[in-house]
């Protein structure tokens, strides 16, 4: 059944009250195919958990909510498994399922909101792991041909918060299943950021994957606003990748500027640090603003619009360019 003119407020973690002209759900690739057969040539928007979108106006299209469920063991090797998940599974539930089976690889990605199906879109990452590190393959429905196609990691062209599905293949496929190759031996990826300190605080010397998940959850809860309480979509901007030359120039004025090695001799800067130094952290514009604990997160305190938050992000980009000669890129998908 296709619903008409429904509010998407409950379907995006910013909580913006924009309307979808048409809205329906599918829980299998067969249902998806049938819906597309009946709605040829309509413009479409594929919706997962709505945790990485900024709605700026009415969606004059057919919104398709992915609800394909099911987790299947595809291969059971001596020291690894390949496990395939329906795209409509909640990402964190999938992580908890893997932990309960002692399959290691995604525990550092605990508590990232959203669906399994969206995880390859921007190659989700946190605490030293990106899904490209554990990715086996995905199955995606080609909207034009009506055929299901299999993609390996190389074909997905994963990068930092990037994939082919955000670039050359944008809007052409619906991701229906994603498979991961996980280790039966605990990988214990604890070197990133505050994980080791957090484990120490918890009094744990030899962590299980459950302990690592708990540590990540605890760090995330201390920094990031819970979308159920304050509307947000996580990091609004990507951390900028810049030349070493620019970092050296910036160090002359800002000796403590955080910077990390990136690929091809480039450096990654911390956008949150730049935004904080520029004085935006915690700035409140009535019902929207910049989060007080994490300057990379823009928030809707209730009743603001995507347009207002988008305009704020434009102001921030302009200011960071003026102050640091660094161009910030939005991470959140702007839907306009």
Tell me: does residue 118 bind ligand FAD (CB under 6 A). Answer: yes
> What single string gives the DSSP state of each residue in 35-60?
HHHHTTT--EEEESSSSSEEE-S-EE
Q: How far is CA 223 from the centre of its chain?
A: 16
Q: Residue 56 binds which one of ligand EPU, ligand FAD, none, with CB within 5 to 8 A depending on kind?
A: none
Instruction: From the list ligand FAD, ligand EPU, none, pick the one residue 276 interacts with, judged by a Cβ distance below 5 to 8 Å according to partner type.
Output: ligand EPU
Residue 13 interacting with ligand FAD (CB under 6 A): yes
Bridge-based pairing of strands 135-142 and 148-151 is: antiparallel
**Cβ(254)–Cβ(248) under 8 Å?**
no
Residue 235 annotated as catalytic = yes
Nearer to ligand EPU, 134 or 296 (CB): 296
Q: Does 124 bind ligand FAD (CB under 6 A)?
A: yes
Closest separation between CB of residue 245 and ligand FAD, Å? 28
Would residue 37 show up in a list of annotated catalytic residues for this protein?
no
Strands 53-55 and 333-335: parallel
Question: Of the ranges 16-24, 151-159, 227-235, 302-310, which one interacts with ligand FAD (CB under 6 A)?
Answer: 227-235
Report residue 200 as tokens. 């120490």
The listed partner (ligand FAD, ligand EPU, none) that binds 279, CB under 5 to 8 Å by sort, is none
Give the C-alpha separation, 301 to 31, whole Å.
37
Asked if 272 interacts with ligand FAD (CB under 6 A), we say: no
3-state secondary structure of 214: helix
Of 71, 62, 51, the C-alpha closest to 23 is: 62
Environment class of 76 (CB within 10 Å of its CB; exposed 0-12, middle 13-18, buried 19+): exposed
In the numeric block, which tokens belong to residue 3? 């619903």
Query: Of 54-62, 230-238, 261-269, 281-289, which segment contacts ligand FAD by CB under 6 A?
Result: 230-238
Q: Which of residues 34-93 bind ligand FAD (CB under 6 A)?
A: 45-53, 66, 87
Point out the catalytic residue in the list 51, 213, 235, 313. Answer: 235
Q: Which stretch binds ligand FAD (CB under 6 A): 99-107, 122-130, 150-158, 194-202?
A: 122-130
Q: Which of 15, 105, 125, 306 binds ligand FAD (CB under 6 A)?
A: 125
**Residue 126 binds ligand FAD (CB under 6 A):** yes
Please report, for residues 15, 60, 172, 307, the alpha-carbon distance to residue 22 in angstroms, rounded to integers and kept in the order given. Answer: 19, 8, 19, 21
Judged by beta carbon, residue 223 or residue 318, the one nearer ligand EPU is: 223
Rounded least distance, CB 142 to ligand FAD, Å? 11
Half-sphere exposure of residue 323: CA atoms within 13 angstroms, side-chain side: 17
- Answer for which of 54, 59, 83, 121 binds ligand FAD (CB under 6 A) is 121
Active site residues: 161, 235, 331
């Amino acid at each position: 059944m296709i619903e008409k003119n429904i509010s998407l407020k409950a379907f995006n973690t910013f909580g913006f009250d924009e309307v979808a002209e048409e809205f329906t759900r599918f829980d299998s690739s067969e249902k998806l195919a049938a819906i597309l057969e009946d709605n040829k040539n309509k413009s479409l928007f594929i919706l997962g958990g709505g945790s990485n979108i900024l709605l700026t106006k009415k969606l004059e299209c057919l919104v398709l909510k992915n609800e394909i469920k099911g987790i299947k063991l595809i291969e059971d090797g001596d020291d690894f498994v390949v496990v395939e998940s329906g795209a409509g599974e909640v990402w964190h539930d999938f992580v908890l399922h893997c932990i309960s089976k002692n399959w290691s690889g995604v525990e550092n990605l605990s508590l990232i909101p959203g669906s399994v199906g969206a995880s390859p879109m921007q190659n989700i990452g946190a605490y030293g792991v990106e899904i490209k590190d554990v990715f086996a393959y995905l199955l995606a429905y080609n909207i034009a041909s009506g055929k299901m196609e299999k993609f390996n990691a190389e074909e997905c062209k994963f990068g930092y918060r990037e994939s082919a599905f955000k670039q050359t293949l944008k809007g052409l496929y619906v991701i229906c299943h994603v498979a991961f190759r996980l280790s039966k031996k605990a990988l214990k990826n604890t070197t990133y950021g505050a994980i080791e300190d957090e484990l120490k605080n918890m009094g744990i010397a030899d962590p299980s994957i459950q302990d690592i998940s708990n540590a990540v959850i605890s760090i995330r809860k201390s920094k990031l606003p819970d979308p159920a309480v304050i509307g947000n979509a996580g990091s609004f901007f990507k951390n900028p990748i810049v030349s070493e030359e620019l970092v050296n120039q910036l160090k002359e004025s800002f000796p403590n500027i955080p910077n990390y090695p990136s690929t091809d001799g480039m450096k990654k800067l911390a956008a949150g640090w730049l935004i904080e130094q520029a004085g935006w952290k915690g700035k409140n514009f009535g019902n929207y603003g910049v989060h007080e604990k994490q300057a990379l997160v823009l928030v809707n305190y209730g009743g603001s619009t995507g347009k207002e938050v988008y305009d704020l992000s434009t102001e921030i980009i302009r200011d960071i360019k003026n102050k640091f000669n660094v161009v910030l890129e939005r991470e959140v998908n702007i839907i306009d």
